[in-house]
Amino acid sequence: MICNPRLIRSIHTSCVQLKKVPNKAKSHSSHQWLSRQMTDPFVELAKTKNYRCRSAFKLIEINERAKILQPGQTVIDCGAAPGSWTEIAVSETNADGKQKKKPKGFVIGLDLLTIHPIEGAHLLSHADFTDTKTQDRIRELLNGRKIDCVLSDMAPNATGVRTLDQDKIMDLVHSVLQFAVLMSSENASLLVKIWDNGNVKKFEEVALRYYKSIKQIKPEASRGDSAERFLLAKEFRGLENITKSDST
């Protein structure tokens, strides 16, 4: 099955818009999308590996380079549908307990859309991460655990207005950062998706108050014509240490 979370999120809007587009334009647009899917090696590889979506390879590559997922860790996956990142998180943290001699992890995946069951994961479907009720539910599931890695592949539905879209995705990453700072263990990691824009530098400056390092990553599986980037912040300083530093 060929998956594209951003496409799924905007199906309803796209269908309405397509009614207003001439048939010739529809045909051209559909042909472009199909051609790109057919020539994308990660689409076929996702089928072969039985991943729910090609985006799995973005996280695989980042993890191979940065080692942010380890057995026994607690991980939150925001914007998880259809579930490929959660699948990787479960496997790497041993949340399903299949690696008998390694510590068992704990993974929560959530999304506005439905996420079909994933062995070893606690899933919250139809859940808005920015809603305080959703964050309270996450805390309940954590039951006192601190988070070792926060993942966010979330992106707003594109309006076509560049500045508005950029502001909306930065609002999302700021909400993820705020939650991560409150709930993460010392030395935890944070990985968020952004769209290249002028506000990224400001976000990096804020994040560096809480993490020892931050860098931009463009995985090979991220299409070259996409403005998509990922920000990886590592070695969370710890809330207690940050509080002490701010008070001195």
What positions carry a catalytic annotation? 193
CA angle 241, 247, 248 (to 5 degrees): 95
The residue among 73, 231, 222 whose CA lies nearest residue 88 is 73
C-alpha 72 chain-centroid distance = 20
Which region, left, alpha or beta, applies to residue 235 given φ > 0 means left and ψ of -120 to 50 means alpha?
left
Nearest-angstrom CA–CA distance, 200 and 204: 6
Give the contacts of 168 (CB within 8 A, at least 6 positions apart): 156, 159
Q: Which two tokens stand for residue 49?
A: 């590996």
